[in-house]
Amino acid sequence: MSKRELLIDGIKPDEIVNLDDLDAYTLAGRPIVFSVGEAKVLAEFSKSGKVLTVEIAVVEQGGEGVFPVLINTIERAVLKRDFAAIEWSVLARNCSTPNPKLMRVLEKIGFEVRQLDSGTEFYWQRRSINDSLLRRVSR
């Protein structure tokens, strides 16, 4: 039995990657809420030069498949646009009930724990578009 594909706001990830107006929706200059499968995600996307910054603030009711789908879709979309890198910030360490599975997944795929001056911890990672992982994803 195959797993059902997680949709992002009801759209297949392959279709999201190719949307002409994706930048207008995601780079809106404010946080946005969208669904990935049954999960609700609060995130903000911004562009500084050739770097896309993705800040994931909240993932509610998400299973383990939400982050891999989200990461894969965003990385494939970035390959089609004028970016040199993606800088990820995931605020999962600050939830009232942190998800230990999510923390393990993030650490396994190379996210590191960083700390703001205020003491708030978050997961962070910067990926170059030239990274071999991104080249494999684009095929």
> Per residue in 44-94, pLDDT tens?
999 999 999 999 998 888 766 888 899 999 999 998 888 999 999 998 777
For the segment 27-53, the average pLDDT, to the nearest whole number, is 92
Q: Tell me the pLDDT band of 1, cut-offs 50, 70 and 90.
A: very low
pLDDT above 60 for 137: no
Q: How far apart are CA 13 and CA 36, in angstroms?
A: 10
CATH number belonging to domain 13-137: 3.40.630
- The neighbour count for residue 72, using CB atoms within 10 Å, is 13
Instruction: State what percent of residues in the chain have pLDDT above 70.
Output: 90
- Domain parsing of the chain, residue ranges: 13-137
How do residues 76-86 score in pLDDT, each as one tens digit?
999 888 899 99
Q: What integer pLDDT is reported at residue 61 of this predicted model?
A: 81
Q: Where are the beta strands (DSSP E) in 37-128?
A: 39-48, 51-60, 85-90, 112-115, 121-128
Looking at the chain, how many residues does it have? 139
